Structure 1
Amino acid sequence: AKDIAIIYFVFGLFSALLGTGISVLIRLELSAPGVRVVHGDNQLYNTIVTAHAFIIIFFFVIPVAVGGFGNYLCPVIVGAPDIAFPRLNNISF
């Protein structure tokens, strides 16, 4: 289970880096009035903001919280050597 937890943590790390990159793009757009980093219309900016939120929530927060910490800490807290259905857990990722 700890191998799967590490995979979830690494996936969360890459997703956090992608979300942070998009956040930097948003901050550059809002850095000064009249600065156009995102070339296009306002819908593209709104799409980038939505993509940032989607990536951070669904690809970073939820997988790390549920998959990463759940697979790493639950067996440790219970005192079990592994989780109840390890093969089913391997399929989950």
Structure 2
Amino acid sequence: MKKKKTQIKIDKSMFEFDLFWSIKDGSLVDIDTLISVYSQYSNTKNMKALVALFSKEKVLSVIESQDILSDEHKIAHKINIGIINGTATENFTSENLAPFTV
């Protein structure tokens, strides 16, 4: 049985902001933690990177498990990931995506 990968070397250049400033680029980070942190500060570039790295299903699974996010945020993430994953996304900006309520 193949062992499931739980960590990845972080490539900070893939994301809009460095939310892992306390660790060195290329360090191993927990995949669920990476998804969790970047989905809390979501924007188009970050969501594209997460989906490209881990798949739409994995990203949504981690988002759904987060108690810190409101139901409105979870719904907005589902809509946005559907748009990002299902369309040529070069033309998408944060203005094209579902708004988040705070």
Q: Same fold (TM over 0.5)?
A: no
**So what's the TM-score if we normalise by structure 1?**
0.28
Report which of the two structures shows the higher radius of gyration computed on alpha carbons: 1
Q: State the structure with bigger RCO (CA 8 A, min sep 6), 1 or 2.
A: 1
> Per residue, is there more strand in 1 or in 2?
2
